[in-house]
Amino acid sequence: MEVCESFNNLTEAALQKKDGEGTPRSGNQKKASAAQLRITKDLSELNLPKTCSTEFPDPDDLLNFKLVICPDEGFYKGGRFIFSFKVGPNYPHEPPKVKCETQVYHPNIDQQGNVCLNILREDWKPVLTINSIVYGLQYLFLEPNAEDPLNKEAAEVLTTNRRVFEQNVQKAIRGGYVGGIYFDRCLK
């Protein structure tokens, strides 16, 4: 009933509103977009593990930034890996676009920097945050997943011989050829 009454008031108000005459309102700055509001909240609550840090080339642009991960355990200990985050205007309906900018020998990351992490594509939900992605990426370095590979060769080595895989990873981090592909040095 409350809604009905309001509807009626509304039309009365509309009828009184003269053609072309706007309601005065102080301040005419464009309001922050819904994506902007949400990313501000995400970032101010960012709770980074000690192995991760962020870089903002432009502090006024919260929609484009980099995440640096330096794993302190596991296969990738000692490496330094950079990911670029691009948050679009449809965030959080759509996930941010995340690419790995460092060449890495990893079953779930390919040579073009595509990352196979479920929450970056098919399992993204608006309730997830930038923090969820950070933890997802960190987990990829601790537990590379050979079952859903992007780099099939690396995945095969991981399943058949973990020692060789570990050596390959460390070789790639120090810079050099692994399986005919050259990796740039990315030591911390």
Q: Which residue is catalytic, options 4, 70, 100, 116?
A: 116
Is residue 186 part of the annotated active site? The answer reads no
> What Cα–Cα distance (Å) separates residue 167 from each residue in 39, 107, 142, 176?
39, 14, 15, 12
Cα separation, 50 vs 69, in Å, equals: 9
Choice from 45, 72, 101, 184 touching another protein (CB under 8 A): 45
Beta carbons within 8 Å of 110's beta carbon, 6+ residues apart:
150, 151
DSSP-derived secondary structure for 70-103: --SSSTTTTB-EEEEEE--TTTTTSPPEEEE-S-
Among 74-82, 91-99, 157-165, 171-179, which window interacts with another protein (CB under 8 A)? 91-99
Per CB under 8 A, does 139 bind another protein?
Answer: no
Instruction: Write out the H or E segment, with its range, that includes residue 176.
Output: strand 176-178
| Residues in binding contact with another protein, number by CB under 8 A | 68
Per CB under 8 A, does 60 bind another protein?
Answer: yes
Per CB under 8 A, does 50 bind another protein?
Answer: no
Q: Which residues bind another protein (CB under 8 A)?
A: 3-11, 13-20, 22-23, 25-34, 36-38, 40-41, 43-46, 53-56, 59-62, 89-90, 92-94, 108, 110, 112, 114-116, 118, 120-122, 124-126, 148-150, 152
